[in-house]
């Protein structure tokens, strides 16, 4: 007789004890079977996930979704008290009572960089039950997300564009689109607005609106396709004529101090229906993504970034811009994976675009790939270098006489063993520099030409 029966069933007959033990044995076997089945299902799902292709980032310019579905979550059924607690956690907001030791009043406190901070901007001292004082890591300027949005809203603009395009019958027509922009600088009568290059690229006309009522036509100042940035401008007088009497540039701050887990807001013209705000955290810093053949180093956030948000602001709880929203992972199986160009990258480029109208990037104009061992064996060649797959029309390479199927082996006497080598050498030069390119043609003829590097952003 087991211990359970000794203590709990002293008055049971032997038959009853045996019957109960048999019932418990059956229940144990049933639980073990369910556990084994669950583990098998989890293992199968994990194995299946290994075959899923990695989703790729896509720009969030002016493309509109075919259908928008609004789904009410189950949490709404659990009562207001749960929703309030969930909202507080999502916002990084917690109400403190006994731990506040100064007379700043009861209110909301914000989590940032792993610490608790005063939302009111007042200096406070937080303590524990043992009397130990906790450090204040950060003091926010606003009491709520609503206040941050109100402070930044007028500095984020809606962008509307018109693009000339053709249909399958080769008929030309005008298409419209939308995006977002950020007022970066006001200089005299000029109001400079930064956005994404893919928002305004190819547009026949661009207009901006601050309130959603007016439409002010803008002119292109300059663009940098490689970093997906562009600057447009409008006149302050045109804004005044439209009833906009106050124009405010938003503050851009370095993202060096941005912490993973920090609360951020994405503000922009989502879905082209006017300004809105979403909230999340910084999920990753210095994230490398490849999009449309370009490599970008970005901030990753789970704040919702939707079509029309491109060019809008990613701001911290002080209402300062730390990034420019540009893309999200384009897969129905992925949620909360958006990307923003860091402000430390953007500001340098924006200033160059305002000053010069362009960002000078040396450009040879070839599409190529590294010669591998497999390539050598396949074509029976013994050459180290990069294979030129395509030469871009009007480029420095075409003008110098480089052709597709040539194999570049050196630049200015420095051996080129990979595509990365060639890119690094080109990037070390300036626009207008002359370089000597050594290459092999037809697999056997060694040749040498001089090319004058041109500006990538003029193509």
Which pair of tokens denotes residue 139?
A: 């003091």
Evaluate whether 252 touches 215 at the Cβ level (below 8 Å).
Answer: no
In angstroms, the CA 183 to CA 436 distance is: 44
In angstroms, the CA 87 to CA 71 distance is: 17
In angstroms, the CA 27 to CA 33 distance is: 10
> Which among 423, 407, 410, 420 is positioned nearest to 364, based on CA atoms?
423
In angstroms, the CA 311 to CA 308 distance is: 8
**Half-sphere exposure of residue 60: CA atoms within 13 angstroms, side-chain side:** 30
Element (H, E) at 181: strand 172-187
> Which among 346, 323, 343, 357 is positioned nearest to 223, based on CA atoms?
357
> Which among 84, 89, 97, 91 is positioned nearest to 140, based on CA atoms?
91
Give the residue numbers annotated as catalytic, written as ranges.
Answer: 198, 228, 310
In angstroms, the CA 103 to CA 123 distance is: 10
In angstroms, the CA 23 to CA 234 distance is: 81
In angstroms, the CA 192 to CA 349 distance is: 13
Which pair of tokens denotes residue 309?
A: 């948000």
Evaluate whether 330 touches 205 at the Cβ level (below 8 Å).
Answer: no
For tokens 């804004």, the residue is 239
Contacts for 423 with CB less than 8 Å, ≥ 6 apart? none
């Amino acid at each position: 007789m087991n211990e359970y029966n000794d203590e709990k069933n002293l008055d049971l007959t032997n038959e009853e004890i045996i019957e109960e033990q048999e019932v418990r044995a059956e229940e144990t076997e049933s639980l073990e079977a369910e556990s084994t089945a669950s583990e098998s299902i989890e293992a199968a799902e994990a194995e299946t996930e290994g075959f899923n292709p990695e989703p790729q980032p896509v720009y969030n310019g002016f493309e509109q979704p075919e259908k928008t579905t609004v789904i009410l979550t189950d949490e709404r059924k659990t009562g207001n008290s749960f929703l309030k607690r969930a909202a507080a956690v999502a916002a990084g907001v917690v109400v403190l009572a006994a731990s506040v030791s100064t007379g700043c009043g009861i209110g909301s406190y914000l989590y940032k960089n792993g610490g608790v901070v005063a939302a009111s901007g007042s200096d406070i001292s937080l303590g524990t039950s043992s009397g130990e004082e906790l450090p204040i890591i950060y003091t926010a300027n606003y009491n709520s997300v609503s206040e941050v949005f109100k402070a930044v809203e007028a500095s984020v603009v809606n962008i509307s564009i018109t693009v000339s395009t053709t249909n399958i019958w080769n008929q030309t027509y005008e298409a419209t689109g939308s995006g977002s922009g950020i007022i970066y600088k006001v200089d005299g009568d000029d109001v400079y607005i930064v956005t994404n290059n893919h928002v305004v690229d190819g547009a026949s006309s661009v207009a901006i609106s601050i309130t959603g009522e007016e439409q002010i036509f803008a002119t292109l100042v300059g663009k940098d396709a490689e970093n997906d940035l562009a600057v447009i401008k409008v006149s302050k007088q045109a804004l005044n004529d439209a009833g906009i009497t106050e124009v405010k540039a938003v503050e851009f701050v370095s993202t060096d101090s941005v912490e993973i887990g920090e609360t951020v807001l994405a503000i922009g013209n989502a879905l082209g229906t006017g300004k809105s705000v979403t909230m999340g955290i910084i999920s990753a810093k210095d994230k490398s993504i490849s999009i449309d053949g370009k490599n970008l180093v970005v901030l990753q956030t789970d704040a919702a970034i939707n079509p029309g948000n491109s060019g809008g602001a990613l701001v911290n709880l002080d209402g300062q811009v730390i990034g420019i929203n540009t893309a999200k992972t384009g897969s129905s199986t992925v949620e909360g994976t958006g990307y923003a160009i860091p402000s430390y990258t953007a500001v340098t480029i924006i200033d160059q675009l305002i000053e010069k109208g362009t960002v000078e990037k040396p450009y040879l104009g070839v599409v190529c790939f590294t010669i591998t061992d497999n390539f050598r064996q396949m074509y029976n060649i013994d050459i180290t270098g990069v294979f030129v797959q395509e030469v871009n029309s009007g480029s420095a390479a075409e003008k110098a006489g480089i052709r597709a199927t040539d194999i570049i082996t050196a630049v200015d006497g420095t051996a080129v063993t990979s595509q990365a080598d060639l890119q690094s050498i080109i990037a070390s030069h300036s626009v207008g520099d002359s370089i000597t390119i050594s290459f092999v043609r037809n697999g056997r003829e060694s040749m040498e030409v001089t090319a004058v590097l041109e500006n990538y952003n003029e193509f």
